Amino acid sequence: MTRVLVVVGHGMAGHRLVEEIRSGDRSGRWRIVVVAEEPRPAYDRVSLSSYLDGRTAADLDLTTPRLRADPLVDLRLSTRAVHLDRATRTMTCADSTVLEYDALVLATGSRPFVPPVPGRDLAGCFTYRTIEDLDALRAAVRPGEPGVVIGGGLLGLEAARALRLLGARPYVVEMAPHLMPLQVDEGGGRVLARLVGELGVGVHCGRGLASLHAGPDGRVRAVTLSDGTELPASTVVFAAGVRPRDELARSAGLERAGRGGFLVDERCRTADEHVWAVGECAAVLGRCYGLAAPGHRMAEAVARQLLGSPAAAFPGADMSAKLKVLGVEVAGFGDVHARSEGAVEFVREDRAAGTYGKLVLAPDGRTLLGGVLAGDTAGYAVLRSLLGRELTAPAGLLLAAGAAGVDARRP
């Protein structure tokens, strides 16, 4: 007998779930109904900035003709789920459609965080999340004029790159002491700031946003930072993180984590045996992961359960990352911030070459716990493969990673 799986959300995690179910369900046990709030099917959100650099929406589309024609997949775009009734196993949509399910997977993703400051709703202010956001940004940016990005993480630097591509003069404001605070340490962030500054991006770290101010035309003209600094801005992009879309939890009586997100166990299942959550809306054992790769792993684990492996679990997330932001190479792996008790740091920095490298070692001074590379990430693959292993010559490995001058210290 065919059973019904309802998936709420068709972002990257929801799409991976559908793909995994259809590729593994050879007997057609599941009919899948996808409720998608956005007007287009799943697309590569990780490569969103490339949409402003020559790629089209069709280039970013993750669906295939085979999936779109699949009789066992009913994809409903521009459809918002508004109420979950677990007692009757039904999902009600904004258009009053009621969907019955045997299994439900919440893949509602997240929404951009916009700081609650005066002026945040002025004309010229945007978020950086969807293709529609980028269409609006493209139409509004005034070439040659200043644009301010609120947020100096990976998304914020991508937004700064977008402003450059559109001809604006970008500034980046980050509340943390350095750029990309989740991926790299202070030293790596300092090198990154210097390198992107040389590319014409103004960087202001250790300061938050206090207010936005309108010009005579009602459009944003400037922002004031928490230290009183005023930056000119005809465009402001909010890229200061995201918040899980977990509104359905309230009506359904599902538990949420302390910082939001549907609370799920290591199998990505809620307290209801018929309801799972994957992607950025899922708080696995209380923790949300804001990256695509962990969302894919969650989707794969849930698909295995629905296809007959009830014990399949989310294997955890490797938060290691090798990135190229604004043309600058950066990488972080393992214990980036040397938070392990007694950790030792080996640091090499070459200011002339614009490179920085750090290895984090266990108290024995030899076992690799993590590291950071900025400006040159040639040694990333080798170093990451050595995590948890004893090194014979840590300084030599770091030299091979492309830096110069050694310092060993305990944090």
In this structure, what token pair is assigned to residue 194? Answer: 């210097």
In this structure, what token pair is assigned to residue 125? Answer: 């202010």
pLDDT (tens digit per residue) in 378-390 = 889 888 988 999 8
121: how many CB neighbours lie within 10 A of its CB? 9
Number of C-alpha atoms within 13 angstroms, CB side, residue 320?
18
The overall average pLDDT reported for the chain is 93
Tell me the DSSP string of 182-215.
Answer: TTS-HHHHHHHHHHHHHTT-EEEES--EEEEEE-
Region of residue 77 (left: phi > 0; alpha: psi -120 to 50; beta: else): beta
Distance between CA atoms of 128 and 135, rounded to whole angstroms?
A: 10
Write the CA distances from 38 to 34, 75, 112, 162, 326, integer angstroms: 12, 11, 15, 22, 28
Q: Greater confidence, 331 or 319?
A: 331
Q: Greater confidence, 220 or 402?
A: 220
Average pLDDT (155-176) is 95
Q: Residue 276 CA to chain centroid, in angstroms?
A: 20
Structure confidence at residue 251 as a pLDDT band (50, 70, 90) = confident
Number of C-alpha atoms within 13 angstroms, CB side, residue 147?
34
Question: Which residue, chain included where needed, has tokens 């790596």?
Answer: 188
Write the CA distances from 286 to 155, 239, 261, 297, integer angstroms: 23, 24, 8, 17
pLDDT beyond 60 at 59: yes
pLDDT at 404: 35
Q: What angle do CA 197, 236, 189 make, to 5 degrees?
A: 30
In this structure, what token pair is assigned to residue 228? Answer: 């009183």
Q: Are 93 and 279 in contact, with CB atoms under 8 Å apart?
A: no
Please, is 114 exposed, middle or buried when counting C-beta atoms within 10 Å of its C-beta (0-12, 13-18, 19+)? middle
Tell me the DSSP string of 45-103.
Answer: GGGGGGGGTT--HHHHB---HHHHT-TTEEEETT--EEEEETTTTEEEETTS-EEE-SE
Largest alpha-carbon pair distance within the chain?
A: 68
pLDDT beyond 80 at 403: no
pLDDT beyond 50 at 407: no
pLDDT at 57: 96
Q: Shortest CA distance to 15 belongs to which of 298, 402, 329, 237?
A: 298
In this structure, what token pair is assigned to residue 255? Answer: 């538990």
Distance between CA atoms of 214 and 328, rounded to whole angstroms?
A: 34
Structure confidence at residue 411 as a pLDDT band (50, 70, 90) = very low
Cα Rg of the chain, angstroms: 23
262-264 and 282-284 strand pairing: parallel
Average pLDDT (79-87) is 97
317: how many CB neighbours lie within 10 A of its CB? 15
pLDDT at 352: 87
pLDDT beyond 80 at 216: yes
pLDDT (tens digit per residue) in 345-395 = 989 888 888 899 999 999 988 899 999 999 999 889 888 988 999 887 665
